[in-house]
Amino acid sequence: MDFNNLQEQNLIREVSFSLSRYASWMKFLGIAAIIYGVMTAMSIIGIIVAWLPIWMGYLLVKAASKAKTATSYGDRYALEEAMQNIGNYFIINGIVLIILLLASLAVLAAIFMFGFNFDPETFESILS
């Protein structure tokens, strides 16, 4: 093993150490997300969206595993994969947040447009 390779492994260990310190939390949150996704899939509407928390949980569990590998062995590719998985997790989380914010704004706009003109008698006649 040459000096440059050893130096690179030590640098990777140092860089990935902070990430691997939080690997247990990443793994915990990943497993919790997977369990949440499985529980969500038990409803008819939940089947449509259950894949999302399962996928996000998988990304966190895999990132935690790769971070530990990078710290233990100084593996550059494991560190890159851990960072890629964490990046994908945040991108997906951001997209979901944007969609939820837009949906909330649409519901709020609908309430302002139609909610103030709501006639309870009309609603009661529809139900009976």
Q: How confident is the model at residue 126 (pLDDT cuts 50, 70, 90)?
A: low
The answer, yes or no, to whether residue 24 has pLDDT greater than 90, is yes
Look at residue 1 and tell me whether its pLDDT is greater than 60: no
Indicate if the pLDDT at residue 52 is higher than 90.
Answer: yes
CB 90 within 8 A of CB 27: no
In the chain, where the domains are located: 3-127
Nearest to 51 by CA among 82, 92, 83, 19: 92
Residues 86-115 have pLDDT tens digits of 999 999 999 999 999 999 999 888 877 776
Count CA within 13 A, CB hemisphere, residue 120: 0
> For position 127, what pLDDT does the model report?
62
The pair of structure tokens assigned to 75 is 């593996």
pLDDT at residue 45, as a whole number = 86
| pLDDT above 70 for 13 | yes
